Amino acid sequence: MSFLGNIFKSDKLKEPVDLSLIGTDMHSHLVPGIDDGSKTIEESIELIKSLYDFGYKKIITTPHIFTDYYNNTTEIIIKGFDNLKLAISEAQIPIQLEVAAEYMFDDSFIKKYRSGELLTFGEKYILLELPAFTPPNELLQTIFNLKIDGYNPILAHPERYSYWHYNMEHYASLKDRGVFFQINLPSLSGYYSSQVQKIAEQLIDNNMIEFVGTDLHNNIYLNEVDKSRFSKHLEKLVISGKLLNKTL
C-alpha cells in the first residue's frame, strides 16, 4: 500500500456489525437500583429498548454479587427482576429476558458455591469476575472444583485484568482448564484504555473468546457499545463462528 494509502487506511469498519448476529447479551446490570448499573425502571426500559434496536433478541442480565459493595442475594435479584420483566412486557418490547449474576470471586462466592446457591444460565454457566488488582490464590483450585461439579465458569472481561497483560500464559492456562472467556464490547471501542483494547483484540486473534457481552450499566456504556460495532475485531469474532451467545 502507498504511503498515502497507509495514512488513510482506517482501523474502523464503514458499516456497523449487525448485533443480531450475536443474538443474546449475557452480561449487563439492568435490574434497577441494586448495583452500580441502571438506577430506575425507566432507565432500564430505555436501555433494553436500545439493545433491542441494535438487534438483540435475548438479554440475560447479571447484577453484581460482590459482598463488600453490592451484597445482593438471590431473593433480592429475583424480586427486582420480576418487576423489570413486568415493566418490559407492559412497554411491549418483544425481547426475551432472563436473570443470573456476575459473581466477584471472593470468600463469600466460595461459601455460596459450597452451599449450592449459585445463579447459572444455559449449560450451567456461571459468570465470574476477578479482583481488579490481585488474582485470587484459590482461583485454579476453585475452577477445578467447579468443573468437577458440572459448572461451566465464564471469566468476565479477561482483557481488564492488568496483572496478566504482560504474560498471556495466564490466559492459556485458564483455557486449558476449560474456562470460557467473555470480552466486553466497550473494550473494543477503547472505553477502558488502549491497553485493554489491545488485549481484547489479542484474545480474539488467539481464538480464545467464546462470549461477548455489553456489560451495560448506563447510557455511557450504551454509546460505547454503539461505537464498538465498527470494530474490525468484532467483525472477525462474529464471523469466526466461535461465539456461543446464540446457544443461550
Q: Binding residues for Fe ion, per CB under 5 A?
A: 102, 215
Q: Which three cell numbers stand for residue 50?
A: 436500545
The residue among 201 and 215 lying less far from Fe ion, judged by its C-beta, is 215
CB of 169 to Fe ion, least distance (A): 25
CB of 217 to Fe ion, least distance (A): 7
* Angle between the N-to-C axes of helices 41-54 and 219-228, in degrees from 0 to 180, rounded to the nearest 10: 10
The residue among 31 and 148 lying less far from Fe ion, judged by its C-beta, is 31
The residue among 210 and 215 lying less far from Fe ion, judged by its C-beta, is 215
Beta pairing class for 102-104 and 180-184: unpaired
> Of all residues in this chain, which one has the CB nearest to Fe ion in the complex?
215
CB of 63 to Fe ion, least distance (A): 9
CB of 36 to Fe ion, least distance (A): 9
Are the CB atoms for 150 and 171 separated by under 8 Å? Answer: no
Q: Which three cell numbers stand for residue 157?
A: 472481561
CB of 102 to Fe ion, least distance (A): 5
The residue among 102 and 201 lying less far from Fe ion, judged by its C-beta, is 102
- Alpha-carbon span 170 to 65, nearest angstrom: 25
The b-or-e profile of 132-152 (16+ CB within 10 A means b, else e) is eeeebeebeebbeebeeeebb
Whose cell is 447479551? That residue is 25
Residues facing residue 28 across a β-bridge: 216
CB of 86 to Fe ion, least distance (A): 24
The residue among 69 and 144 lying less far from Fe ion, judged by its C-beta, is 69
E strands within 171-228?
180-184, 211-213
- Alpha-carbon span 153 to 122, nearest angstrom: 11
CB of 190 to Fe ion, least distance (A): 18
- Alpha-carbon span 224 to 215, nearest angstrom: 10
- Alpha-carbon span 224 to 104, nearest angstrom: 23
- Alpha-carbon span 174 to 214, nearest angstrom: 22
User: How many alpha carbons lie under 13 Å from residue 26 in its C-beta half-sphere?
Assistant: 29
